Amino acid sequence: MKTFIIAEAGVNHNGDIETAFKLVDAAVEAKADAVKFQIFKTENLTTNNAPKATYQKQTTASNETQAQMLKKLELSYDNFEKLNNYCKAKNILFLASPFDIESLHFLLSLSPDYIKIASGEIQNLPMLKIIAGKNKKIIMSTGMATIDEIQNTVDYLINNGTKKQNISILHCNTQYPTPYNDVNLLAIKQLKRIFKTKVGYSDHTIGIEIPIAAVAIGATIIEKHFTLNRLMEGPDHKTSIEPNELKKMVSSIRNVELALGNKYKIVTKSELDNINIVRKSIVAARDIKKDEIFTENNITLKRPGTGLSPMLWDKVIGTKAKKNFYKDDFIEI
């Protein structure tokens, strides 16, 4: 199965539409399947005095509130409409996570193929109610959520109009960056076993190794933050990958997909040419005269493998030579 790769632009446009266009271009160049943004109105998302997360304090001005930081990262609905049209023109899927009811309604007006539910909204019942009733394809991140919380949300979506086959679950850790010892990729297998839905992975680690490994574990969706330049100001740039890394990640995932194969151990077409080259045959270790007994002293194993198989060694030992053999001749019995 082809992995659905989401290039997460998030708020790395820094509130500038031209930067957002460039992020779309980078995602297209990397051959990602979709590029995703975050849609919100700051006044609907956070109170004026809400504190910033620790990682946000480390990457943005320490004396501003979360609301002040987010306001600088907003794009207008008009700009998101332009972005949606730009993605269509560039033949890449436009995705977005809405963070408030008003923004959700706007997103729905764009008739998106998917609705992305961010980890922080997994218990946003009013939002879930609206999403469920639309029976859209849903990709849901599960950072900070227990199995029971995930189950409650999945059940609620299904009971309120969403078909189970339209739900995809992303394993996720919401620490930026995520420590490697907290990634817990094997949870992907647990989520598959319990929910029997498509399961992917939303990554917040440094580098590209972990999402590539997630595909080998069984993730069928990968979401990864990217930026035009990690040195840009803003909360998410430093933990994002740059365009050349995004391109390498996508390419590596495609290689892993090919390498996963069909789960059956077989001799592949590419190996056939090598069988006779690297396997061995029973050959004369020295000159052997007719009627001489074959022993471990006068026969040996050497390449190529076009003569008697080494598996016949015990059958050959103790028999008589039917003719003269010169050193390195294939033994015949």
CATH of the domain at 121: 3.20.20.70
Smallest CA-to-CA distance from 281 within 249, 313, 314, 318 is with 313
pLDDT digits (tens, 9 = 90+) for 195-252: 999 999 999 999 999 999 999 999 999 999 999 999 999 999 999 999 999 999 999 9
Q: Would 177 be classed as within a structural domain?
A: yes
Smallest CA-to-CA distance from 167 within 192, 203, 146, 145 is with 192
State whether 9 and 86 are in the same domain: yes
State whether 287 and 206 are in the same domain: no
Pair 49, 64: CB distance under 8 Å = no
The residue among 219, 234, 260 that closes a domain is 260
How far is it between the farthest Cα atoms of the chain? 100
Domain count, the chain: 2
What is the extent of the structural domain holding 273?
269-316
CA 55 to chain centre: 24
Pair 93, 113: CB distance under 8 Å = yes
Total-model pTM:
0.91
Smallest CA-to-CA distance from 205 within 222, 219, 218 is with 222
Please state, in angstroms and rounded to a whole number, the distance separating the CA atoms of residues 40 and 102.
8
Q: Is the pLDDT of residue 47 over 90?
A: yes
Q: For residue 92, what are the CA distances in angstroms to 33, 324, 325?
A: 6, 72, 69
Q: How many helices (H) and strands (E) does the chain have?
A: 13, 10
CATH number at residue 278: 3.90.1210.10
Please state, in angstroms and rounded to a whole number, the distance separating the CA atoms of residues 16 and 79.
9
Q: Would 332 be classed as within a structural domain?
A: no
pLDDT digits (tens, 9 = 90+) for 63-118: 789 999 999 999 999 999 999 999 999 999 999 999 999 999 999 999 999 999 99
